[in-house]
A and B are shown apart, each in its own frame.
Chain A
Amino acid sequence: MRVLGIETSCDETAVAIVDDGRTVLAHALASQVEDHRPYGGVVPEIAARSHLDRLDGLVVKALSSANLKLSDLDGIAATAGPGLIGGVIVGVMTAKALASVHQKPFLAVNHLEGHALTVRLTNDVPFPYLLLLASGGHCQFLLANGVGNYTRLGTTLDDAAGECFDKVAKMLGLGFPGGPAVEAAARGGDSKKFPLPRPLRGRQGCDLSFSGLKTAVRHCIEALPPGPLTKQDAGDISAALQMAIVESIVERAENALVMAAAAKPNAFVAAGGVAANSSLRNALAALSEHNGLPFVVPPLELCTDNAVMIAWAGVERLQLGLTDSLGFKPRPRWPLDQAVGVAA
């Protein structure tokens, strides 16, 4: 079984072909980072325009590199939400067109489910597992019970962790995307020079919060003597922010592990772009080991947005007959714990 997957929900235009033997047959990706860099963040209309310009060419490229025709595929999957709706629509309409002509099943994939299922492609992790999904748009703890079956244990009350990284990188002039920029700047920094809060520390549950951290960083910068920000200050603030985010997530993860224990999870999984942060990976690995659970993260290139995860989610959903109608409405908001498919 081979599924072509399309990802257009943010600033990566991507097409992949994956089979049920867990082989990635093709992955064609066009990053829009340079288009958005001058703005210090993703501009939705620029993103939507760029997806339209590039997507059909990437479909042809992916098919060519896999040496396959559309008729050789068993299904066409696309991110159908949540995300920037202009781009999501481009991906969904392209996928519907391909599916209609070749009478293949159309699979409307929840982008978050793509992240959630990636470790089943890379590591064959069995259900159930505890999942930290941390990206630029989302930050939540979930129990992954099965395909289309998720229980949300906690979520951010305001900003996502990735958004906090991006906004602080912008304040510090470190560039875009912010996560890797802050991580790189933090390497030469003193994490203790600027004390930052640990939001929700000691609270019950595993909800998260990051907007206060962002504000605290702003206050730190404003309190500095007048003049340009020194490289050392930027490094120290980056190190302090990274430590605050990591410690906050780890403290909340301790509660999530307790909440998930009754379900007897087989692993603790981290996914999403923020899971690419090495300090966070190391801290969560240590926590997981302490709790006697294997810690699993996808390879770095599959933590950030990609089409491999969408194609794989398509494979998993197609195996269960969870296909979608060509009248499917793209969804800018789509909580994962409602990602229950309808067998067509």
Chain B
Amino acid sequence: MRVLAFDATMATCSVALWCDGSVEASLCDPMVHGQAEALVPAVESVLKKAACSYDALDRIAVTVGPGSFTGVRVGLATARGLGVATECPVIGVLTTVVLAEEARLNGTDTKIAVAIDARRAELYVQCFDQDGEAGRDPLCLLPADAAKLLEQDAWRLVGDSAEKLSGLVSNEVKISGPVYPNATVLAAMAAQQPLPSAPPGPVYIRPPDAALPKSGGRLRP
């Protein structure tokens, strides 16, 4: 099975072409902004490097968040557009799950906690057991509240806010990559997933920043 996978949810643009356990080509460029410009040329570049065409794809995989709202939409709009154009199924995987899976593959003797910068002084956090099984859905928390989740047991912290969170945790924690999702890991995970009945949707966690105006904005009730 050949999978084209990409991530644009954090501070990289990562693309991989994976086939039956082997990486045929991959690319990962660091960037805080600019994924909207970089992603489709990066996909074309990876396909060209592997001398592969869109026709040869079996699946498309994308991270669905949590992460930058813009990055989530850059990835998902591209993946869903590619899905319509290639008629390949599109598989969505949580950013936190991809990070935890890479940590598990690298070998860990503790539980895994993923911490991602959610801006506004908050973190997206999700905890996994040693085998990479998630305890509950990812949350958006203040760092102090996130630290409370890690009060017991030893943890391996991953994600771009692992260091920030480690400073608030008193028990044993180890920080060792990954910092950002790896498209190769995403591709391998997507190959194992059952086919979805619908294209994947975004996982923002945080609701839109919009307040209802008092009295609907009327000057008189």
Contact = CB atoms under 8 A, between A and B. Distances in A.
Contacts of B37: 327-329
Contacts of A224: 220
A48 interface: yes
B219 to A, nearest CB: 5
B40 A326 contact: yes
Residue of A46, A94, A101 with most chain B CB atoms under a 10 A cut-off = A101
Nearest to B206: A45
Contact of A48 (B36, B69, B82): B69
B76 A98 contact: no
B202 A221 contact: no
Residue of B40, B41, B199, B209 with most chain A CB atoms under a 10 A cut-off = B40
A94 B80 contact: yes
Interface string B28-67: 0000001011111101100000000010000000000000
A142 B202 CA distance: 40
B86 interface: yes
B73 A102 contact: no
Given A45-B210, A89-B70, A326-B44, A96 B218 contact: no
A101 B210 CA distance: 37
Interface of A is mostly: helix
Interface range, B side: 35 or more
B82 A171 contact: no
B1 to A, nearest CB: 19
A218 B40 contact: no
Interface string B182-221: 0000000000000000010110100011101101111111
Interface string A89-122: 1111111111011100000000000000000000
Interface string A228-266: 110000000000000000000000000000000000000
Interface residues of A, number: 48
Nearest to A224: B220
A326 B78 CA distance: 12
A273 interface: no
B86 A101 contact: yes
Given A86-B73, A330-B36, A46 B219 contact: no
Contacts of A97: 40, 77-82, 84-85
Given A56-B80, A93-B78, A39 B210 contact: yes
A228 B220 contact: yes
Given A56-B199, A97-B40, 20 more contacts: A39-B213, A45-B69, A49-B202, A52-B73, A52-B77, A55-B80, A70-B85, A86-B69, A89-B73, A91-B77, A94-B78, A96-B78, A97-B77, A100-B85, A170-B216, A173-B217, A173-B220, A229-B218, A327-B40, A329-B36
Interface of B: 34, 36-41, 43-44, 54, 69-70, 73-74, 76-86, 199, 201-202, 204, 208-210, 212-213, 215-221
7 contacts: A40-B216, A46-B208, A52-B80, A55-B77, A96-B78, A100-B82, A329-B37
